[in-house]
A and B are shown apart, each in its own frame.
Chain A
Amino acid sequence: MIRKSRGLLLADFTADPLANYINNDPEPPIVRLSMAPSDQVTQILVDPNHACWKDRFDFAVIWTRPESAVPDFNRLLSGEPAALAELLEQVDQFVDRIKLAAERVPTVLVPIWTAPQAGRGWGLLDLKHPHGIAGNLVRLNQQLIDKLSEIDHVYPLDSTRWLASAGTDSSSPKLWYMARALFGNRVFMEAARDIKAAVRSMTEEAIKLVVVDLDDTLWGGILGDIGWEKIQLGGHDPTGEAFVDFQRALLTLKNRGVILAIVSKNDETAALEAIQNHPEMVMREDDFAGWRINWSDKADNIVSLLNELNLGAQSVLFIDDSKHERSRVRQALPDVLVPEWPDDRMLYASTLRNLTCFDTPSVSIEDTNRNAMYAAQKERARLQSEATSLGEWLVSLETVVTVRRLADVDRDRTVQLLNKTNQMNLTTRRLSAAEFATWAAQPDNHVFTLRVADNLGDSGLVGILTLTQQDERGHIADFVLSCRVLGRRIEETMLHLAARIGKQLNLSRVDLHYTPTERNKPCLEFLSRSGLNSGDDERSYVINIARGYALPEGIQLDESGL
């Protein structure tokens, strides 16, 4: 059954169209956004017993007008002076009320303020004059953003982008006077898109890999026909500049932790020569974690790349100028995200930059280091191909697994891993940060994190082992391991650790019960070959504490943090 995310919308103007846009959207994640009574934002925020809070929500959207959230802003709208210190103090008071909401829902989204009814304000002086409306609105929004950013799981949203996108349709005096609808349809549509993206980022895996075609995608022209010296790239040609800008947009994603790869029907030698030698190429060979440049089916090539990179199809975005190739990949790999791509090459960069699939609620060190990790992964694969046995290869890596009880500094990454890992995940339990914190605080629940490093690099925090203690029995609640370290015997190390922890807690056995999902079959396959005894049914396994579980050869364990 598809889980619905439930949200509460608090607004001090008519915002029903926003709720309806979101509720009518059949694309996953399915979201049900309920409207709180309008014009009662403050009352609802400060009253924990208000009827609105009786239902359990996954998120809240709090969208206000500056003149209602910051009373002295009305003075500015009336052309009267208002003290900046007082205005900022009123912003802080508003943020204090948001904090109350953040205690009741796991995630709070707050569009920053706009004032479409203010028009040109003081005109030429509107940004410069101490009582200018636009200038003060910038200051209030800066204070709002700074203060909201200090609160965990509260996210300011850029509503100015929604208004810019709607253009002259962003607001209408008629809608305001007749229906108290502050914005036009387009603004609500853009807001709905961003709010859905925010919910998606909290419930689904973000895109980790972008696979691009080459001819007429990364550059203009058919390389095999014209040679790399003649491809359309940069120069004094508008379309060539557009391809350069598209490459820059891809590189920006790489710097944010998205990995890049190529799948192209081309001659590999000629393509790599173009990438290395063309003076206007922004991206070079090192920017790609892998490539399949040959004449084979692109869907097969993507599968081959995913196997090499240990990634699932749901974390991939495929970009190709050919609608036939897009159609083929969609049909063969429905989990791969294949956006419609414009025919106009000058729209490539803006199309990429406006995709919502890269949104994440947090950015961990592991995210930003992902490219370096995959470079190390490539080197591991090379060493593995040269080693005579798996054991020899693993020993040569000198892997160190560091385990420790959950530390505050690891909370965000732990929640991220818990909610984003699909393949090696025993129960696929999804919890918000607040829910996880509540669970972890229970005395019988134990949370351990694993970091993995070897002589090729540090993979960071990649594993979670959680256990609930019931008398002499332990139950593994989460057995989660990032796909980036699968197949390096970290899975077996986690079983060894579960046995060690069980002994420390004076347990006689630790049970693992596998909960199937569409994507976690690798976990069951691992358990079935782990040598553990089966439990009460074919999905249950038991670690006998007296017997223990052997630490795999070649793994060095640092358990000083246990």
Chain B
Amino acid sequence: MSDSEKILQAIYGAVEEINPQLPPDQQLTKQATTVLVGDGAVLDSLGLINLIVTTEYQLQKTLGLSVNLTDPTILENPEATIATLGQLADTIAAQTDGEFDD
């Protein structure tokens, strides 16, 4: 499994954790193409923040990765960094390049 795939799995773990506390129309599907920001996005701002913070926990817990996803370079231009679950995984992979334990 590639680093991006491992990260995507951790993000899916975060999705599983936050879905039960989202209204039904905001719940996310575990697909790389799921839209987080812009047209077709279903999360409100609270849901997006919760996903980001929960993803940080999941990355730490499952992969031992310490990342800061609330960094302004990510949140100030979300369409380019976290537009979809897949793009979120790519952004994290770029931020953690070479940090994987294995």
Binding site for B on A (CB under 8 A): 14, 16-18, 20-21, 23-25, 169, 172, 174-175, 178-179, 181, 184-185, 188-189
Q: Please tell me if the beta carbons of A185 and B18 are within 8 angstroms of each other in the complex.
A: yes
Task: Point out the residues of chain A lying under 8 angstroms from B45, CB to CB.
Answer: 179
Among A175, A178, A189, the residue within 8 A (CB) of B21 is A189
- Which residues of A are found within 8 Å of B53, using beta-carbon distances? 172, 174-175, 178, 184
Assembled-state Cα–Cα distance A74/B35 (Å): 41
Q: Say whether B70 contacts A20, CB under 8 Å.
A: no
Does chain A have a CB within 8 A of B12? Answer: no
- B20 proximal to A (CB < 8 A): yes
Q: Is B49 an interface residue (CB 8 A)?
A: yes
- Say if the beta carbon of B67 comes within 8 Å of chain A: no
Name the residue in B21, B24, B46, B52 with the highest tally of chain A Cβ atoms < 10 Å from its Cβ.
B21
Report the nearest B residue to A186, measured CB to CB: B17
Interfacial chain A residues near B56, Cβ < 8 Å: 174
Residue of A nearest to B22 (CB): A20
**B contact residues, range:** 10 to 19
Closest to B23 in A: A20
Q: Is there contact, CB below 8 Å, between A14 and B21? A: no
In the complex, the answer to whether A17 meets B50 with C-beta atoms within 8 Å is: yes
Q: Which residues of A contact B24 (CB under 8 A)?
A: 24
Task: Check A178–B70 contact: CB distance below 8 A.
Answer: yes
A21 touches B20 (CB 8 A): yes
Can you list 24 A-B contacts (CB < 8 A)? A16-B21, A17-B21, A17-B50, A20-B21, A20-B23, A23-B23, A24-B23, A169-B57, A172-B53, A174-B49, A174-B53, A174-B56, A175-B49, A175-B53, A178-B70, A179-B45, A179-B50, A181-B46, A181-B50, A184-B53, A185-B18, A185-B21, A188-B21, A189-B21
- Tell me whether B49 and A179 are in contact (CB under 8 A): yes
16 new A-B contacts, CB < 8 A, other than A21-B21, A174-B52, A174-B56, are A16-B21, A20-B23, A21-B20, A24-B22, A24-B23, A24-B24, A25-B20, A169-B57, A174-B70, A175-B49, A175-B50, A178-B49, A181-B46, A185-B21, A185-B54, A188-B21
Residues of B within 8 A of A25 (CB): 20
Query: Chain B: residues with CB nearer than 8 A to chain A?
Result: 17-18, 20-24, 45-46, 49-50, 52-54, 56-57, 70
Which residues of chain A come closer than 8 Å to B18, judged between CB atoms? 185
Residues of chain A with a CB closer than 8 A to B54's CB: 185
| C-alpha spacing A188/B21, complex, angstroms | 9
Which chain A residues lie closer than 8 Å to B57 at the CB level?
A: 169
In the bound assembly, the distance between CA atoms of A175 and B22 in angstroms comes to 15
User: A181 contacts which chain B residues (CB < 8 A)?
Assistant: 46, 49-50
A24 & B70 in contact (Cβ 8 Å cutoff): no
Give bound CA distance, A258 to B70, whole Å: 51
Complex: how many Å from CA A17 to CA B45? Answer: 13
Q: Which residues of A contact B20 (CB under 8 A)?
A: 20-21, 24-25, 189
List chain B residues, Cβ under 8 A from A188: 21
Complex interface: chain B residues within 8 A of A189 (CB): 20-21
Closest beta carbon of chain A to B60's beta carbon, Å = 10
CB–CB A185/B23 < 8 A: no
Q: How far is the CA of A175 from the CA of B57 in the complex (A)?
A: 12
- Does B70 contact A185, Cβ atoms closer than 8 Å? no
Chain A residue, CB-CB nearest to B18: A185
